[in-house]
Amino acid sequence: MIIMDEKQLRKSFIDPVLEWARANQKPKELRLAKGLEAASEAAAEPEEMPFVVPQQFTGKDYITMLLHVDAEIEHGLMLQYLYSAYSIGGPQIPEKYRERVHNWKNIILGIAKEEMGHFISVQNVLKIIGAPLNFGRESYPWDVPFYPFPFTLEKFTLRSLAKYVYAEAPAEWLSSDDPVAKEINKTVHAQASDPHTVGALFKVLLQLIQDPDVISDDAFQPGTYPYQAKFDEWGRGYTGGDRGSAKDNKFTKSPDVLVAPLLSRDDAYNALEQIAEQGEGDELDSDTPSHFERFLFIYNDFKAILKETGGKFDPAYNVATNPFAGDPDHAGTASNEPADEMEQNEITTEDGILWANLFDTRYRLLLNFLAHSFLLDNGNNNVGSFTPRGLIINSTFGEMYNLRSLATILVQTPLSKKGKLMAGPPFTSPYSFDLPFGEHNRWRLHRDLLVASGNLIENLKALKNQPHSQYLNALQEIDRKLLEAIAQLMQAELA
């Protein structure tokens, strides 16, 4: 008897979406044609068959599964974009190109912030339909058909950038005669045997969620509104590119973070439609270009510099691929850097292991804070001059800044003794993404992670010639104040 594991089972549930998308894909000419004649031809085309939910699911349950897949994709892409952006820099970049490279970094960081907005917005959709939220990710979810390519934390190169262009590209562009599209296809297919875009996923989600016969009106629960993420809490002014780094360039005028609370079916549909459009939209005259357009802009600019320099141009630190913290007992051992084709690189320097573990602890703290925010409203257990929800959201942003600071340190920390590779942030998945039952226990978990972080900080400060003592001292002080607030909340829960 053949027994499928969980991943194989989920793949079997998702494959019908891709089969449906292939069967209903209209010719490119009909989708791009302009004018009355083209519209008449399009109208004469038979309507595509609606997607039918597999019989072992209810409509709501199937939508929930697809939203879970989308959340994992948004999470995974966000981390890969962050890793790529963090790797950009170094003294090897010629002075004349530094501003352009700096703009690339800011563009990619802006896209990653927008992916964070997508990740949060998907949780809002799950919240309003009364489904479990999903803050997790698969480290290597290649078995999921919608995942664009194998999850890889790697330095910024033209080769890795091609994958990001591909993942966000409209299907019409990828199948066009554009020479850059052909080049991207060739590069990506050389790295992955069956790469994907996520267009089919959104097409099915949008069809299903607007159909009352698939998911009934009473599934949408406006009473969840106080617990959903809202732009005034999470947007931080990131709208319409207002906080972009270069106002004279539409590609650097970003990000435009989408976080919309939902009250109805229409709200949920619009939120998903906006996420899809922000990813692969191809309106070239838009004031806020899509992720696809921004990545394509960087790709072409990168190629232009390579042409000027005869191919001798590297805009990134020499960081490891898929780094992970090694065994502290083996710290300081001889270099054991794998060849470039290896999937992972072990961090073996003493300081590198400590910084990597500190990074992973703060990454887990961020995810816990984010998950906790969806269990609180502004009137829940107010303590003194602050609310638990406000404290959690501010702390989440604090961890975003901490991860950027820690990543900056790690991309300049050697992977191993006498080695040439730098470490890089590992983004190790926590052993669990679930929060404990009860408010008291959730605050206790946050406290425990801060205590663990404090131990790592003390070990880092104890290293000889520690160049980052000022940052570590500042982090300790921030944590001390947060621990005091958590202690008040835990005491209030017990009162």
Q: Which residues contact 462 (CB under 8 A, 6 or more apart)?
A: none
Structure token pair of residue 55: 């019989």
Q: Locate 219 and state its tokens.
A: 């599934």
pLDDT given at position 275:
87
Classify residue 443 by burial, with Cβ atoms within 10 Å: 0-12, 13-18, 19+: buried
For the record, the structure tokens of 318 come out as: 């020499």
State the helix-helix crossing angle for 158-168 and 179-191, rounded to 10 degrees. Answer: 110
Alpha-carbon distance 99 to 107, whole Å? 12
**Environment class of residue 213 by beta-carbon count within 10 Å: exposed (0-12), middle (13-18) or buried (19+)?**
exposed
Element (H, E) at 31: helix 28-32
DSSP string computed for 396-440: HHHHHHHHHHHHHHHTTSBSSTT-S-B-----PPPS--PPPSSHH
Phi–psi pair at 313, nearest 5 degrees: -150, 125
Give me the pLDDT at residue 386, please. Answer: 67
pLDDT of residue 316: 97
Most distant CA pair in the chain: distance in Å? Answer: 76
Q: Are 263 and 222 in contact (CB under 8 A)?
A: yes
**Spatial separation of the C-alpha atoms in residues 281 and 274, rounded to whole Å:** 9
- Numbers of helices and strands, H then E, in the chain: 16, 2
**Alpha helices (H) in 88-195, listed in sequence order:** 98-128, 158-168, 171-174, 179-191
Residues 6 or more apart in contact with residue 261 via CB below 8 angstroms = 124, 225, 228, 229, 230, 231, 267
Q: Which residues of the chain have pLDDT under 70?
A: 1-14, 18-19, 21-48, 138-146, 236-250, 252-255, 280-287, 329-342, 379-386, 493-495
Given a contact cutoff of 8 angstroms between Cβ atoms, the answer to whether 234 and 120 are in contact is yes
